[in-house]
Structure 1
Amino acid sequence: MKAILKGVVGVVVFIVVLLILAPLLIPTETIVSQLTSQVEKTTGRTLTISGDSELSVFPELNITLNQVEFANMPTGSQPNMLSMEQLAVHIPWLSLLSGEFTLERFVINNPQVLLEVDTNGQPNWQLFPTAPTGDKQPSERGQQSGATQLPAGFDISLGEVAIYGGSVVYKDAQTNSEQKVTDLDLSVMLPSLHQPLAIRGAISYQAQRFELELAVDNPAKAIQSEDFKFSKKLKNELVNVDFKGEVVEQAKRFKGELTVSGDSVKALTAWQNIPLDAKDNAFNQFKINGEMQFADSVFTLSRLSAELDALKIEGNARVHLKERLSVSADVDLGMLDLNPYLPEPVKVAEETPTEQESTPAQPIVWDDTEIDLSALNQLDARLQVRSTGLKARKITLGENQLSVQLAQGKARVSLDKFNAYEGSGRGVIAVNAAKKPYVIETNFALKAINAEPLLTDAVDFDKVLGKGSINWNLNTQGVSQKQFVSRLGGKLAFEFKDGGVKGANLAEMVRKGQEMLKGNFSGLSEGINADFDPEQKTDFSALTGSFSFNQGVGKNTDLLLASPLIRVTGSGTVDLPKTFVDYRVVTGIVDTIEGQSSQDTSTGFKVPARIKGPFHQVETSLDLSSAAKDKAKDTIKDKLKDKFKGLFGG
């Protein structure tokens, strides 16, 4: 018994001495050399350890490597895929004796990781030989061609893994994109390559700290380019990102559910150095949720649901990220209230000019600065946008639908459905910015529009009553505002029925003018020279007219305002390039007492008016001499002249 006990004690002492002397008996350089050669044999890339290496065997096998570098693929942008200041590995002896390779503790300090895809689509993380395809069926070869194959029986079990400091950079040479995360503080759990991988910790991205959770259901499948599932969560005071999905088709396609949310769009844009001057109740909370997919440089977002403040948007979108950026989308905006997102209107302080401070109106000068529309050549788009309603300041629209097509610098915006102010309409705007000069064409038809609420909401003008239609087919070309105005061509027409013009009673004014021709000037102040009176109104059964534009000059010959007792006709030109108007309006009383129901368009007494001058200084005058020629005898004209001389002291 004593002999057995002595034998056991001797063995224990021998083992202890062996453990103590092992680092001396087994040179560290030999272990490092074996390690680097085995890595190169397995992956085809070199592992360089240029710093000091340490080895201890008691109470567990500890290996510390300094200044470690792992080579990149030959087509990579940098020599190394991975470099780190220090790698410390702790391996229990029992795992070696049992034949299982278990890392009890694995610590990486300040790693610099480069993950990249070259111009041929080859990723640098494909380390192991690809699976043979010669003995497979054609369908299997199509699915497995180029897939990475792990060595038979190969597995890794990681215990406590910690990563401190360093960075991870992702580059894609095909899309010329690059992303970088820094200041890593991560904990990794990997019981086996065939069991879930979990990564938790924090990273920094563009000067913001994010909490990170990442899970992969089967790392071995991921390495071998087989289908696998993964999830990712990023949490930050600015934005939260949650993705659950899978990678399929040899990592060529990934899909899943994406949710992005945050408390402030303004704070998010400030982080990206994008100025956003917004009201307190605008661009705050946001949330985007949808099914996403990325394959063959195409990003697809379906079942899109987006919320911004009180707005709710639904639809789908697709973005092609190949040589030419292309976007397609079908979006329902719901009830779109834009008022929180529109800047406050500029308030002009009301001033009472004095004689010394009065400033003459300045002429209008069209800007000749070249307009840059090159952005329309940067991408293609096909968009369809709908809304059940829209509010913009005082303007309120009903159900609308808008389509946008953009291809090779040619844009087409179609108003497919328009409902507002009791009317409806359609229209198209086409812009050809593929070459200079740019060409712009517009064609709109709006019908049954209620004029008073529309003009009141749009420009705070409530003087026109009635429903009507507005149609125009206009075109122009150029590269500046001045050129667009100077080359404007096409036609514009309008027609309003059963309305009125508030502020003046033209029939009464004409009657006063007729009395003046008879020598009665008693109603001058309350007739022609009467001030604007909102209670007065000129009713009309029809207000029609059209303009033909050529080289920026609009010509009208058919203005007609038909009223029960008066007819107003007009003709003239509006010269937009010269900002000059020359227009003649004739107001006459209908001879027949049948009023507007009469088929007789003739009028009795007529008063023509001339509207003439530059836009900034238009003058309106009554042509009383012409009126006298139409109605009065020479003797009446003489008396009229005498009356005017007496009135004005001539």
Structure 2
Amino acid sequence: GPVVRASFKLDAIDLDRYMPPKAEETAAVTKQPEKQKAGGGKPDFAALRKLNLDADFSVGSLTSSGLHMQNVILKLKSRKGVLTLDPISAALYEGKLHGSVKLDVRKDTPRFSVRKTLSGIQIEPLLKDLTGKAQLQGTGDIKVDVHSMGLDDVTIKQNLNGRFSLEFRDGAYIGFNLAQAIRQATGQAVSDEPQKTDFAELKGSGVIRQGVVTNNDFYMASPVLRVTGKGKVNLVKEKVNYLLTTKVVKSLQGQGGANDLKGVAIPVRISGNLNDPSFMVDLEAALKANAEHKIEEKKQELLDKAGESIEKKLGSGALKGLFGR
């Protein structure tokens, strides 16, 4: 097969200019037979299987899929139907990207793996450029190590496996105000606040099995709330089933009250469509937990008072005498 050795150095390139407009792309997908849309088509990879390639790329400014990157370094290698991009490095959104990609086309159904580390990135502008909207703000790190097979979205999601971790600082989740929802569920006055949940820290990790993301160690901290969570996100069906456990660690006075819930675990269920989930505060469980919390506090208070009363009546010396000391 062909043997290629190449080195490219570019000042700037916008790959999106060479892609078909979204309207044309959507129309082309719609016209495809159902079998091909589901991954039944068999593209010919014979040329790639014969390719012997080593190429280095250096790009000062790169735009791809709406994302803007600088100082891009790529090393592409192809041997006997296995293509690798390793290393991949770039500066983007005030942070850094390091990673590698492997594509195996030795069989009719291609397989691929992706390892990426994003460090110190601003997540809001990245998401806006990539998807057109952003529900997360903050500075943070993301690690992804996944593999799958296929060419179409459905097949790729169904066969997606791997693991991930993320950690963000000084940000917010846009579209839902957790503190406001708690106050509203407990009958507190609700003021006209922005629909977002601010946090000082947000982190979590998980595994992906056949397109289902499982996370059991979600943690979020803000000046007034501590939140832990666990649940699943089905990327194939685009459904979410997640449970947050929220504790008020500081008075919410000035934001509607709810002081009596300090230290009480409040369940918040997230479910439904992944792109538009519903949030429900479990009021019954919260009130039950609150009552149990108050009972325990009262029991401890009575025990403390009883101990003080006995000590006063008997005197500390009498108590010592009971034990021969």
Q: What TM-score do the two structures reach when normalised by structure 1? A: 0.38
Instruction: Kindly state the Cα deviation for residue 369 of structure 1 after the two structures are TM-superposed.
Output: 2.1
Contact kept in structure 1, 2:216 and 2:229, CA below 8 Å: yes
Match of 1:418 among 90, 94, 114: 90
Name the CA shift for 1:335/1:576 in 2 (closer, same or farther; >3 Å).
Answer: closer
Give, in whole Å, the separation in 1 of the partners of 2:65 and 2:162.
31
Residue of structure 1 equivalent to 2:232: 573
Residues in 2 aligned to 1:499 and 1:464: alpha-carbon distance in whole angstroms: 7
> In structure 2, do the counterparts of structure 1 residues 406 and 574 end up closer, same or farther at CA, with 3 Å as the change threshold?
same
Q: Is the 8 A contact 1:588 1:605 kept in 2?
A: yes
Q: Cα offset for 1:392?
A: 4.7
2:4 paired with 1:332: no
2:215 to 548, 556, 564: 556
**How far has the Cα of 1:554 moved from its partner?**
1.7
Q: 1:513 corresponds to which residue? A: 185
Task: Select which of 491, 497, 500 maps to 2:169.
Answer: 497
Indicate which of 620, 623, 626 corresponds to 2:282. Answer: 623
Distance 1:427 1:616 in 2: 28
Tell me the residue number matched to 2:27: none
User: Measured at CA, do residues 481 and 370 of structure 1 come closer, stay the same or move farther in structure 2, by a change above 3 Å?
Assistant: farther
Structure 2 CA distance for partners of 1:473 and 1:500, relative to 1, 3 Å: same
1:440: which partner in 2? 112
In structure 1, what is the equivalent of residue 78 of structure 2? 406
**CA shift in 2, pair 1:340/1:476, >3 Å:** closer
Task: Give the Cα–Cα distance (whole angstroms) in 2 for the partners of residues 621 and 556 of structure 1.
Answer: 19
Structure 2 counterpart SS, 1:431: strand
Q: Does the C-alpha gap of structure 1 residues 592 and 415 become closer, same or farther in structure 2, counting only changes over 3 Å? A: farther
**1:557-578 Cα distance to aligned partner (Å, 9 max, x none):** 0111111111222211123345
Structure 1 residue 628: deviation in Å? 1.7
Gap change, CA 1:437 and 1:457, over 3 Å in 2? closer
CA drift at 1:411: 0.8
Aligned with 1:402: secondary structure? Answer: strand
Q: Which amino acid aligns with 2:79?
A: A
* Residues 435 and 420 (structure 1), Cα distance of their counterparts in 2 relative to 1, 3 Å cut: same
Q: For 1:361-410, what per-residue CA distance to the aligned partner results, in whole angstroms no more than 9, with x for missing partners?
A: xxxxx824245251421422211111111235753221111121111111
| Equivalent-residue separation in structure 2 for 1:502 and 1:616 (angstroms) | 13
Say how many residue pairs are matched. Answer: 274
Long gaps (5+) in structure 1? 1-323, 348-365, 594-601, 636-650
In the alignment, the residues of structure 1 paired with residue 151 and residue 12 of structure 2 have an alpha-carbon distance, to the nearest angstrom, of: 36
What residue number does 1:83 align with? none
Change in CA separation of 1:439 and 1:458 when aligned onto 2, cut-off 3 Å: closer
Distance 1:566 1:345 in 2: 42
Give yes or no for contact 2:60–2:70 (8 Å, CA) kept in 1: yes
SS at 2:285's partner residue?
A: helix
Structure with the largest fraction of helix: 2
8 Å Cα contact 1:380/1:406 also seen in 2: yes
Relative to structure 1, the CA distance from residue 504 to residue 555 in structure 2 (aligned partners, 3 Å threshold; closer, same or farther) is closer
Change (3 A) 1:373 1:589: farther
Query: What amino acid maps onto 2:115 in structure 1?
Result: N
Please name the residue that 2:123 is paired with: 451
* Alpha-carbon spacing, 1:402–1:478, altered in 2? closer, same or farther (3 Å): same
**1:552 to 1:501, Cα distance in 2 relative to 1, 3 A:** closer
Identical-residue share of aligned pairs (%): 29
TM-score of the pair, normalised by structure 2 = 0.72
Output the CA distance in 2 between the equivalents of 1:499 and 1:559.
15
- Displacement of 1:339 in angstroms is 5.5
How many angstroms apart in 1 are the aligned matches of 2:91 and 2:268? 38
The 1-side partners of 2:171 and 2:112 are apart by 34
Distance in 1 (CA, whole Å) between partners of 2:275 and 2:14 is 36
Structure 2 residue matching 1:445: 3-state secondary structure? strand
User: Using a 3 Å threshold, how does the CA distance of structure 1 residues 373 and 462 change in structure 2: closer, same or farther?
Assistant: same
Structure 1 SS opposite 2:264: strand
Q: Return the match for 1:389 from 61, 65, 78.
A: 61
The list of structure 1 runs, each at least 4 consecutive aligned residues, that deviate by more than 6 angstroms after superposition, is none
Secondary structure at the counterpart of residue 263 of structure 2: strand
Residue identity in the other structure for 2:2 = L
Alignment correspondent of 1:17? none
2:43 aligned to which of 340, 358, 372: 372
Structure 1 distance, partners of 2:83, 2:103, is 5
- Write the distance in 2 (CA, Å) between the matches of 1:463 and 1:484: 24
- Distance in 2 (alpha carbons) for counterparts of 1:371 and 1:588: 53
Q: How far apart are the structure 2 equivalents of 1:395 and 1:336?
A: 12
Check whether the contact 1:369–1:480 (CA below 8 A) recurs between aligned residues: no
Q: Name structure 2 gaps, 5 residues minimum.
A: 25-36, 253-260, 295-325
The answer to which structure, 1 or 2, has the higher relative contact order (CA under 8 A, 6+ apart) is 2
2:199 alignment partner, one of 519, 531, 540: 540
Greater Rg, structure 1 or structure 2?
Answer: 1
Give the conservation status (yes or no) of the 8 Å contact 1:395–1:454: yes
| Mapped partners of 1:385, 1:473: distance in 2 | 23
Partner Cα separation in structure 1 for residue 54 and residue 7 of structure 2: 9
Instruction: Flag the 1:586–1:482 CA change in 2: closer, same or farther, 3 A.
Output: same
Q: Distance in 2 between matches of 1:487 and 1:394?
A: 26
How far apart, CA to CA, are the structure 1 residues paired with 2:290 and 2:159? 43
Q: Secondary structure at the match of 1:434?
A: coil
Question: Does the 8 Å CA contact 1:585/1:608 hold for their aligned counterparts?
Answer: yes
What do residues 253-277 of structure 1 show as CA deviations (whole Å, max 9, x unaligned)? Answer: xxxxxxxxxxxxxxxxxxxxxxxxx
Shift of 1:587: 2.7
Distance 1:614 1:452, change over 3 A: closer
Secondary structure of 1:632's aligned partner: helix
Counterpart residue number, 1:186: none
8 A contact 1:439–1:475 mirrored in 2? yes
Following the alignment from structure 2 to structure 1, what is the Cα–Cα distance between the partners of residues 277 and 135?
20
- C-alpha displacement of 1:543: 0.9
Among 140, 148, 165, which residue is 1:476 paired with?
Answer: 148
Flag the 1:345–1:449 CA change in 2: closer, same or farther, 3 A. same
Contact 1:473 1:490 survives alignment (8 Å): yes
Q: What's the C-alpha RMSD, in Å, of the aligned pairs?
A: 3.3
1:578–1:345 CA distance, 2 compared to 1 (3 A): closer
Q: 1:552 to 1:592 in 2, by over 3 A?
A: same
Q: Distance in 2 between matches of 1:536 and 1:579?
A: 23
